[in-house]
Structure 1
């Protein structure tokens, strides 16, 4: 119990802050979960919806073991809960253009309880090492119990192949922070998608330490012009079409904000203009058989590409992709047409998830809980924090066995935990422990 001495007010504030931190952390976790699962249906299989633009997918290693005869397979959220409970599941976050495999020939041990009579296979599904529970070029699981130090390294998902990579394995000397970019394309996909050099100046560029050191304390260097020119020259070598003002305080450059054009672009624009003027009809060159074709804009954001490094792009970079007929054919040939679909992005998927959550009337807010805390006295509040911490510790210990075995936590398991909790609390009360001093 908390004391009511002279330092009571400070203790009151500490208790209040601790509980508010707990509530805010709970809200953050809820937001993350609903961003991924909010657009999913927990009770109905998604098979009838076909190859969905994006959905949450799980791999069942119990029904489709690594190297098994059935091959790799993935199931939707509802099937993971209703058909594969108590199985070893791998949460794959989301996958594009995927159709639920539950109950087909890839799933050897389970018949779909929600949607029987499915086709034997889903030929357009694409499977990667993720379905075996492995990630990155290091081909390791996550979390990696044999290499726990790797868990401190952030894993980033490639928006093209959708594999996850440790930041230290991307091939980049430095990686931007999460708030500096929206999507990453791994080096393997950069090498495959040859059209990306046409959009290299849109990429977020992390300045090297030597560049930053050069630009530090420019005002006191005595020759700020020479230093600025030196930094500018290095920047231009990284991106031919982007000229960037550099300061020691700026850690990255977003090329999409640049309005500067290269000489090649200017010359190309002049030639294009002259050609149209010579025809006497600016639209004549763009009309074939009575149909107007879109002028190709590829190359407008051209720049140098390092195929051994990943590329990082801002939120709106896809809107700059050219969608003329020629470029569309190229995207299709490289199986990258999804890049021109605004509904393909993770940010759009999470937006739909949050919209659905908002439509249910649920609110992600801690205001009601904070109001409840403010209505109780300091002693009670302090005890609530202590009880919560004890409960949290016991619950983590109880859930650890599920994490270690890869089993899904069912409603029955949670009910069992709280039933045992109540039984222990009741026994301690009967043993004479005062209610206000009980510890779950």
Structure 2
């Protein structure tokens, strides 16, 4: 562990309370971290730093919550847990999507206990306070007194936006702008007609590793040859032709496929929004059309207005908690939610056309085979990574600028974002101690 971090944020630190001391120590570590190196140990396993991740990152960033197809009609809802904050996402009147803290305004009990479902109203199971789907309090019993103002006790709203079938939430009081990314997301996913998809199958796994290790593992394919034989039946390791490892053969394949996609009027251009959001369509292995074991379509009914199955993979990155693959026949979307300093929930959903019939157009077991194997392999890699980092022998190591540039981008984004949100200055003595 960094001596700076171990010694400075003691609970009895005379310069302030323990959390403020932790903020200052973390800020000092970020200010003096080695570029293109992994982070100091506390960033991956310390409960105090995990608390900062939740308060200063996950409670302030736009997070991928779920898909709009999961709440297709009025009254459909799903629940998502962001640390201690339980959030309800529900479709209300006029097709509008709302999000609320899952907290009754009476005595704070949770309203929705199930992960998903359909309701006419939101009713607290404790004392039956009843809320409209837009959050208004409708019923609070007859014992609150004649001067009780129900309009003052609506559900606490959460910022929510939807684009391209994705639903994003933000717990901040004044959320940062995200509309430029959402406009592009809508454009790239227009051919998929996301109002006409459904979740064919879903998996949830808990990885005994810090959430940043889960994301780091996803942002590179340095490990793929040694770990992912199923995935490499279809996936080419390169993200795009700017990848320093890309070959002439790959660049020729990209040019040919891009010409095909242009002719089909399907978006493929690389679009970046800082280091946080990224969209690009890249080919699968030549002759392969889907991420299945045999490379053939996993669903016979193509998505939306997609003209043929050979669409490569539209890769969508949204930090801090999602990556995605959209092919011609189906899509695979991923959501990452921290559960603790060394525990992370990874949810995977396979999407198909809403009219596709299970057992006729697709076999769920075949559809999920590649990514079930890959997810389990990644889980083991992240967990072994975590165990090594927990050792007193760990110290930050260098990333490969050729193979791990995506990890460098993620760690840079994380460090810059967390540092900006900490809102503290580092005292001069600590600046000297950390240099």
Shorter-chain TM band? under 0.3
More strand by share: 2
